[in-house]
């Protein structure tokens, strides 16, 4: 049996390294970890998390606006097919 030769192919030859902010899907993983101040085993460092929260805010979903009940009542009574029923009732 013949042994296979291991071939090293450089996948990053044609990659434009000047646009690294948009190509995290094509650069080596080590570069991604360095760029985002992260670690493969431990995740983000505590100082980076603190600085990111100060800059961008906490990662929380904003609560929905409270509903105006008069507008909801108006929508239910006079929008869509209900408007046709009101007009039919008036004409009858």
- Binned at pLDDT 50, 70 and 90, residue 4 comes out as low
36-89 tens-digit pLDDT:
778 888 888 888 888 888 888 888 888 888 889 999 999 898 888 999 999 999
Residue with tokens 């360095």: 34
Packed helices 69-78 and 81-91: angle between N→C axes, nearest 10 degrees: 60
Compute the distance between CA of residue 68 and CA of residue 27 in angstroms, rounded to an integer. Answer: 50
What is the model's pTM? 0.37
Tell me which residue of 40, 39, 31 sits closest to 12, measured CA to CA: 31
pLDDT at 25 over 70: yes
């Amino acid at each position: 049996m013949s042994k296979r030769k291991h071939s090293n192919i450089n996948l990053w030859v044609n990659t434009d390294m000047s646009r690294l902010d948009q190509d995290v899907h094509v650069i080596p993983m080590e570069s991604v970890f360095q760029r985002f101040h992260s670690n493969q085993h431990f995740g983000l460092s505590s100082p980076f998390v603190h600085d990111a929260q100060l800059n961008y805010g906490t990662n929380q979903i904003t609560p929905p606006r409270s509903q105006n009940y008069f507008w909801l009542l108006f929508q239910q009574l006079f929008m869509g097919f209900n408007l046709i029923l009101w007009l039919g009732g008036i004409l009858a």
